Amino acid sequence: MLLASATFTSCTTGEAEAEADGSDAEPVTRQARAEVVRAHLFDGDADGQAAFARVKEAFEAANPGYAMTFLAAATEIAADASSRLVFVQTPVEEEPAAAAIHTASGPTATDLHVGDIAVLRPGERLTAEPAIAALVFDVPDTPGDGVPAAIRPDWDPDITDVPGGCATETGAYRRILLTWLNDNGPYTFHGLNAHRVRITDSFTHYHPLDTGFDEFYLVQMSNEEDQLLTSYHAADIESPETMTPELAGRLFDVHDVRAGDLIYLPRGVIHRGLGGVLAQVITVPGFRPGAEIGVDHHLLAINERLGLEGDDALPYNVEASTEAVVR
């Protein structure tokens, strides 16, 4: 494979505007290259804190009205004027935290496992014992009454496996927690979408700069084979007839992935997950239908045009390479 090894670097973005009321999205204005950023959430040293600060800065600059915080060990999340979505990263599955969401009408008790989301509306707070680690998003809009106080993908009978997206194989683990369209799942919210998925061999795709969305991989389980491929060369890949062998050899960066990683994938960046990584895939502002653009058919065309075979061939998802894929 022609894969260049790379580290994750900081990101520069412009301002973004997006509709969250179901109407057509307004174009998003940003610089042409907003870069992938990675932080390991449990690296508490100066380098780890600096990496998370880069992710936070890049995300918040690109998405006005949103904020992001990581809490390494929280027994309480205080009330705030904004709505917040709390992505539970610990404790482990076998040891849930006994939690309560405190509202004006009283507390709602729930257990919280890794992979769950607690939904805090304005003025609500959360308590948990033992302490949880959590990624918290402040969102500009409030989820509707149909969204429960806790969304628990492995325990809610209304959330079942829905193969598709990054996990199309039969029997795939893919559970949609917050969705744009109620055809896809029971809980709709346009401000942020999330699905918990095991990514074995996703199709290669990007989300457009103008009508797409930013994406996070919040990695919750991994093995030594897990990788993420990324590329900043969408325009070149979509023009196979002009591809040169020299450019083909540096189209992709390959990154190892481990549990506890938070990986920021801005709009416009091509990406593909491999190996079996289990992650919360989080999209902001939300997963816009028609904004997932596949490029595997272009990668196959480049291989054929340049005669790239064996280890020299560009990697592509075979199933998604037979035709243009737009989801």
Q: What is the pLDDT of residues 187-229, one digit of tens each?
A: 999 999 999 999 999 999 999 998 899 999 999 999 989 999 9
Any domain includes 327: no
Give yes or no for residue 38 having a pLDDT over 70.
yes
User: Considering all CA atoms of the chain, what is the largest pairwise distance in Å, rounded to the nearest integer?
Assistant: 67
More confident residue, 287 or 119: 119
pLDDT tens, residue by residue, 52-88: 999 999 999 999 999 999 999 999 999 999 999 999 9
Q: What is the pLDDT of residue 73?
A: 94
Radius of gyration of the chain (CA): 20
> Among residues 206, 287, 286, which one has the least CA distance to residue 34?
206
Q: What is the pLDDT of residue 95?
A: 78
Give yes or no for residue 15 having a pLDDT over 50.
no
Any domain includes 131: no
Q: Residue 257 sits in a domain of what CATH number?
A: 2.60.120.10
Vertex 54 angle, CA 264 and 238, to 5°: 40
Average pLDDT over residues 106-121: 96
Band of residue 20 on the pLDDT scale cut at 50, 70, 90:
very low
110/137 Cα distance (integer angstroms): 20
Q: Is residue 266 within 8 Å of residue 16, measured between CB atoms? A: no
Band of residue 7 on the pLDDT scale cut at 50, 70, 90:
very low
Any domain includes 124: no
Q: What is the pLDDT of residue 162?
A: 75
Q: How many percent of the chain have pLDDT more than 70?
A: 86
Give yes or no for residue 44 having a pLDDT over 90.
no
More confident residue, 238 or 91: 238
**Got the DSSP string for 99-156?**
EEEEETTEEEEEEE-TT-EEEE-TT-EEEEEEEEEEEEEEESSPPPTTS-SEE-TTT-
Average pLDDT over residues 234-241: 97
Give yes or no for residue 177 having a pLDDT over 80.
yes
Q: Is residue 310 within 8 Å of residue 216, measured between CB atoms? A: no
Distances (CA, A) of 296 to 54, 81, 169: 30, 44, 17
Q: What is the pLDDT of residue 13?
A: 33
Q: What is the pLDDT of residue 99?
A: 97
DSSP 318: S
Band of residue 4 on the pLDDT scale cut at 50, 70, 90:
very low
**Average of per-residue pLDDT values in the chain:** 88
Any domain includes 185: yes
Tell me the whole-structure pTM to 2 decimals. 0.87
| H and E: helices and strands count for the chain | 4, 18
Any domain includes 139: no
Q: What is the pLDDT of residue 159?
A: 94
**Got the DSSP string for 252-264?**
EEEEE--TTEEEE
More confident residue, 289 or 316: 316
Band of residue 163 on the pLDDT scale cut at 50, 70, 90:
low
Q: Is residue 267 within 8 Å of residue 219, measured between CB atoms? A: no
Any domain includes 114: no
Q: What is the pLDDT of residue 289?
A: 84
Band of residue 161 on the pLDDT scale cut at 50, 70, 90:
confident
267/284 Cα distance (integer angstroms): 10
Band of residue 257 on the pLDDT scale cut at 50, 70, 90:
very high
Lowest-confidence region among 32-41, 260-269, 274-283, 303-312? 32-41
> How crowded is residue 30: how many other Cβ atoms within 10 Å of its Cβ?
20
Q: What is the pLDDT of residue 6?
A: 35
Residue bearing tokens 């900043």: 232
> Among residues 252, 254, 202, which one has the least CA distance to residue 228?
254
275/32 Cα distance (integer angstroms): 30
Specify the number of domains making up the chain. 1
Q: Is residue 69 within 8 Å of residue 84, measured between CB atoms? A: no
Any domain includes 71: no
Percentages of the chain per state (helix, strand, coil), in multiples of 5:
15, 35, 50
Q: How many percent of the chain have pLDDT more than 90?
A: 76
What residues have CB less than 8 Å from 127, skipping those under 6 apart? 75, 76, 99, 100, 102
Q: How many CA atoms lie within 13 A of 248 on its CB side?
A: 25
Vertex 227 angle, CA 221 and 228, to 5°: 105
> What length does the chain have?
327
Any domain includes 164: yes
Domain range for 210 is 3-17+33-63+157-321
Q: Is 38 in a helix, a strand, or coil?
A: strand
